[in-house]
Structure 1
Amino acid sequence: MSLGLNDEEAELVAQARAAAEHAYAPYSDYQVGAALRFADDAVITGSNVENASYGLALCAETVAVARALGEGRRGGLAKVAVVGPLDKGVGAPITPCGRCRQVLNELAQLGGTDPEVLCVGKDEVRRVALSDLLPHAFGPAHLD
C-alpha cells in the first residue's frame, strides 16, 4: 500500500496498523491505531481501548500520547499516523476526534511543533497539519 507515501511514512502507517491489531474494541468492533514519530525518529504507538462504560473509552491517539508522556517525552512530535479498519464504512481517511486533536496539540505545543497528521483510508491518505485540524488551539502557553 503506497498511497503516495515515502518509505518513512509507509513504515509509520504500518506501525499504526500493527497497533490497531491490539485494540480492545469489543463494543464497536472498530479498531484504531496511532503512531507518533518524534524528531529523534522514535515511534510510539497506541490503540483504542473501549470500556463497558462507554464514556471511559480511550482513543488510540490519546493512548499513544499518554505512553509518550509516561516515557518522559515533552515535545519533539514530528508526524502522526492514524488508521482505522479497512473493511468498515466507506473507506474514507480517519481523522482524530476533537479530544484527540487537543491531546496531540498539548504534546506538540510542548515542543513548539506543528506535526503533519496522516489520516489513512482504504485508498487515500489525507495529509493535514495539526494546526489545521485544531485551529486557534488552547494550550500550555495560555496558562503562563
Structure 2
Amino acid sequence: MSLSDAARAVRENAYVPYSGFKVGAVMQAEDGSLHPGCNVENVAYPEGTCAEAGAIAAMVAAGQTRITAAYVIADSPTPVTPCGGCRQKLAEFAEGPGTVITMANLDGVEMTMTMAELLPGAFATSHMENVET
C-alpha cells in the first residue's frame, strides 16, 4: 500500500464530531513499515490528538524511531501543513533535514517539503549541549 492510500484509508477513521475535519497521516519508518494515524477530537479542546502525533505514536509503539517519509491528507481546498507542535514532533523523529513530508487534499493536489523547509531552525538536542545533568 502506498503512503497516499494508507493516509486516505486511515483518514476515514478520524473521530471528529466537533469540527468534522478529518485528517489522516502516515509515517514511513526506516525499515519501510507504514504507521497510520488520524485526528481524534475531544470535547475539552485542545485535548485532542493530531493525525501526525497519532501516526508517530503508532510508529514508536511498533519499535521504530526514524521517519523516512511522511504523508498527511485532509479535505481542504489546498494541502494542509502540520501544526507547529506536529512540525516539532516530526523533526524529532525525522531521518534528517531532507526528510520529505507530503501534504495533500482529497482532490489529488500535493505539496512536498523537506523537514528543513517545513520547520527551519527546529529545536534540537544540539541546543542543549551546555545543560548539566
Global fold match (TM > 0.5): yes
Cα displacement (A) at 1:74: 2.1
Rounded Cα–Cα distance in structure 2 between residues aligned with 1:140 and 1:69: 19
Cα displacement (A) at 1:128: 0.5
Rounded Cα–Cα distance in structure 2 between residues aligned with 1:43 and 1:141: 29
Q: Aligned-pair RMSD on alpha carbons?
A: 1.6
Identity %: 35
Q: Which residue of 2 aligns with 1:66?
A: 57
Deviations 1:32-84 (A, max 9, x none): 00011123210000000000101101100011111112222222x11110001
2:126 equivalent to 1:141: yes
Rounded Cα–Cα distance in structure 2 between residues aligned with 1:99 and 1:114: 19
The amino acid of 2:26's aligned partner reads A
Q: Which runs of 5+ in 2 are unaligned?
A: none
Q: Which runs of 5+ in 1 are unaligned?
A: 1-7
Cα displacement (A) at 1:123: 4.0
Tell me how many residue pairs correspond in the alignment.
128
The amino acid of 1:46's aligned partner reads G
2:107 equivalent to 1:107: no
Rounded Cα–Cα distance in structure 2 between residues aligned with 1:14 and 1:96: 19
Q: Which has the higher helix share?
A: 1
Match 1:130 to one of 106, 109, 115 = 115
Cα displacement (A) at 1:142: 2.5
Q: Which residue of 2 aligns with 1:5?
A: none
Matched-pair contact (CA < 8 Å) for 2:71–2:102? yes
Q: Which residue of 1 aligns with 2:28?
A: 37
Q: Secondary structure at the match of 2:36?
A: strand
Matched-pair contact (CA < 8 Å) for 1:48–1:63? yes
Q: Which moved more, 1:11-20 or 1:63-72?
A: 63-72
Cα displacement (A) at 1:92: 0.5
Q: Secondary structure at the match of 2:46?
A: helix
